[in-house]
Structure 1
């Protein structure tokens, strides 16, 4: 799984735009305008409908009318800012109100722009393109900041962010969460024998094996430092965890990456420490990581090239 997993919305080739306006004629005009762009567009006719869409589908940009029945555009924008899923979504206010106070209020809420009706199609199109380009560049920079430069999988920062989100989600819904800590066995000897370029290639191959071993969109593998990787498995119990960890261990060994003589297996192997828990609100997620790390230490102490699984304090029965 790539680092995009850690972002609110992964970088896509087709930007997403949500149009929110209670005037059907205005919605139709905006849809016609956007039909000439390479974008995916959805429409809502009030604030409540917009929030329902946003709960399932996160756009890059929202064209938001200020005057809506019920919840107005300012309130919708405020709701977007409060949610981690949508706080980075760009908002362009479209409104018939041209008072400077209204414009200031919209910008203070975090909107990117404030466009008064009736708008010029050419001007609006240019502003939409500019804001989408800025959003794309921002997401690309965020993705780079959360990607390990060597292996091109998520880094520690991305892993910790995803772990925190999934920990609290699983705690709220009473679902299990699991983590693997994976360490390449005798990697220092490998580096000393073959040199750092070959060591880097080895880590890239192991990272690819780990990434390809994950089947669900919610799973995440990250390089957290040196020859150590971590795997996040939301809603996976102890049985699921052991089965996947053992599959990964076997795949790394069967890849047949030669290891210097003196290593028992003759090929590169990994040790894996795992922990499965039912998290509780108010409980530190460090409990999960410490348990997985201790199990990794045990796997290495027992001879390496093996999997050790145990439940945390809030264990699974």
Structure 2
């Protein structure tokens, strides 16, 4: 290097030191150093290019008087291709240069400079774009700590001497300064980009986690995302399970639908489900391949490949979309879909958008997981509240059921409380009555039921129950008695029909002995939860009704004569005491009949006691058929004697009643194995309004005296006690 070159280099460093001391503005320093470098090298134009690892392309970073520059009043492309203020003349190259498709790319790749003394005579293998224009070209690697950070390109026009190796030696000490400024600019730009990215993500996250209802927050979030990136449409989609890959052993898995993968549009900006379906149909094959690949890709992989935008046409216009899967667990796949109104030509911009959307998708996944968790918690809390309410109702049902042992009252109270849990038009119980040895259908309507409703209900209950293995089986549906309780609420118009039915078998022990049956007039249909609630209710109800039936059976056994099934002497005495008090209080007549089978001993002595029992049973049945149901009381008084208590019946009425019974028995002989056996009765009748009875014993004594007179008078007759005073034996 000659002394003049040394002086030039020394002046360069001195000028650079003065410039550095007066300003820290990177653009001014870069403009200054490039101008000095061009002057030192005798170049008329120059440019700096930097490498972007994401796209593997060289991007124009700074240019002065470059022949290939496009002049305009906008901002140049900064590092990474983003529009940012750059030093030097405001120019930008048309497109980035691939890292394997230019002289500068070759310099970047090899790290060695390339000198072309004359473009017209240069090596034909060099990819020189301005070969015909002539001139000279110098491309130098900008290195910092042995790492290439950019490429410096200098040009001389045709005419002056071309670049030589001495020019390279002259510039060698200057290159580290340029490399340092380029790296500093790259790092500052990277920090600025990251800062802007973080701020944008923060603003979007604030919208997403604002505390407002999730659907509204999601719409605001997606609208802001579309505005920030200039997107035409944004959508959140849930696909069906992605098709299995060959590696997974799935082979050619069928589509979720004949037309492509099934999906749900969870939220969308300027997009509806039919539009989305048309868009996905256009890219269906490519989309399914990407979804299958994404399903097995680790989201934390720093080298996650950026998919090329899916191009499609809409109304003859070329457009593009991204479909980015969200890192969510569970069935199906959630994805963020974005589309632009024009195809993505700038791959660098597409990659930048994809990387940003990748970060957005993580935020969106966190928000969805949070919302899913909150929804699950709210559902669990609602379930707990409902279970608590249900348990309170069941507790009240248990208390009320424990307060009575009357089966009908048990049902009425249970039905009333159960309506607090499930809305129904009617609830019915079909059960086997052990005492009556028949099935009974008890219906509790919520409101007044029309006759067609009742007939349809009865038919439906019996048809359903016949499919169950009941014990005992329902052999005669026509014999089932149906009792409709008083409606739970008043209604002017009776219910005409029912639409929905819920039913469960009624089990005691291991026997199906009945059915619980609910109807509902209108929608909604009964749910699985309501079926479970009914099952729990049945469990509580079964115990109570079982206890009530046991009590009723025990009670009946305690007050029933086991041979004739009539009330026994104990029950007769208790009923007589109650009716006697009531008759004296209200001044009403109370008549008593005592009946005795004539010559009963002859039946036992002649035909045996078994036939004597049949005589007693035969007479008992005739008595029951003759009296007023639920008014009069028929009891076996003892031996062959029976008693009939007739409330509010005077002596004359009782006399007619006794004569009718006597005649009925006389005219209805017992048909036995030994033939037709005639039976006659002697009957004594007394009444409280004729005889002054101070106690029940007085009334019995009067009737017994009349019976004695009937027997003494020849039997088979009715005798009335007409005396005012009771004659005691």
Match of 2:665 in 1: 252
Residue matched to 2:703: 292
1:275 and 2:670 are equivalent in the alignment: no
1 or 2 for the larger relative contact order (CA 8 Å, sep ≥6)?
Answer: 1
Partner of 1:308: 719
Equivalent residue number for residue 641 of structure 2: 228
Q: Is the 8 A contact 2:406 2:548 kept in 1?
A: no
Deviation string, structure 1 residues 3-62 (Cα, Å, up to 9, x no partner): xxxxx99866x95323799xxxx784157489555155599xxxxxxxxxxxxxxx9xxx
Match of 1:219 in 2: 632
Alignment pair present for 1:17 and 2:408: no
**What TM-score does the superposition give when structure 2 sets the normalisation length?**
0.28
| CA-to-aligned-CA distance 1:86-143 (integer Å, 9 cap, x gap) | xxxxxxxxxxxxxxxxxxxxxxxxxxxxxxxxxx876555323311211111111111
Instruction: Identify if the C-alpha distance between structure 1 residues 145 and 42 changes in structure 2 by more than 3 Å, giving closer, same or farther.
Output: farther
Alignment of 1:6-155 (within 5 A): 16-18=411-413, 28-29=419-420, 32=423, 36=427, 38=429, 39-41=442-444, 125-155=538-568
Q: Say if 1:279 and 1:301 are closer, same or farther in 2 by CA, change over 3 A.
A: closer
Aligned length: 222
Aligned counterpart, 1:193: 606
- Gaps of at least 5 residues in structure 2 are 1-403, 430-441, 447-484, 486-532
User: What displacement does 1:280 show?
Assistant: 11
TM-score (norm 1): 0.60
* RMSD, aligned CA: 3.6
CA displacement 1:271-311 (0-9 Å, x = unmatched): 00110113999931111111101111111111111111124
Assess if the C-alpha contact under 8 Å between 2:690 and 2:722 holds in 1.
no
Aligned-partner Cα distance in 1 for 2:627–2:665: 14
**Match in the other structure for 2:482:** none
- Residues in 1 aligned to 2:561 and 2:692: alpha-carbon distance in whole angstroms: 31
Matched position secondary structure for 2:584: helix
SS in 1 for 2:413: strand
- Do the aligned partners of residues 166 and 281 (structure 1) sit closer, same or farther apart at CA in structure 2, a change above 3 Å counting? farther
Q: Is the 8 A contact 1:271 1:305 kept in 2?
A: yes
User: Equivalents in 2 of 1:244, 1:156: separation in Å?
Assistant: 21
1:199–1:175: structure 2 CA closer, same or farther, 3 Å change rule? same
Instruction: Mark the CA change 1:177 to 1:126 in structure 2 (over 3 Å): closer, same or farther.
Output: same
Describe the shift of the 1:132–1:256 C-alpha distance in structure 2 as closer, same or farther (beyond 3 A). Answer: closer
SS of corresponding position for 1:29: coil
Bigger CA radius of gyration: 2
Partners of 1:313 and 1:199 in 2: how far apart?
A: 37
Q: Structure 1 residues 312 and 221 mapped into 2: Cα distance closer, same or farther (>3 Å)?
A: farther
Conserved? CA contact 1:246–1:307, under 8 Å: yes
Q: Which runs of 5+ in 1 are unaligned?
A: 1-7, 44-58, 60-119, 260-265
Whole-Å separation in 1 of the counterparts to 2:693 and 2:421: 46
Q: Distance in 1 between matches of 2:598 and 2:550?
A: 39
Residues 180 and 282 of structure 1, relative CA distance in 2, 3 Å threshold: closer
Segment of structure 1 superposing worse, 216-225 or 279-288: 279-288
| Partners of 2:593 and 2:658 within 8 A in 1 | yes
Tell me, yes or no, if the aligned pair for 1:181 and 1:272 is still in contact at 8 Å. Answer: yes
Closer, same or farther in 2 for the Cα pair 1:27/1:10, shift >3 Å? closer
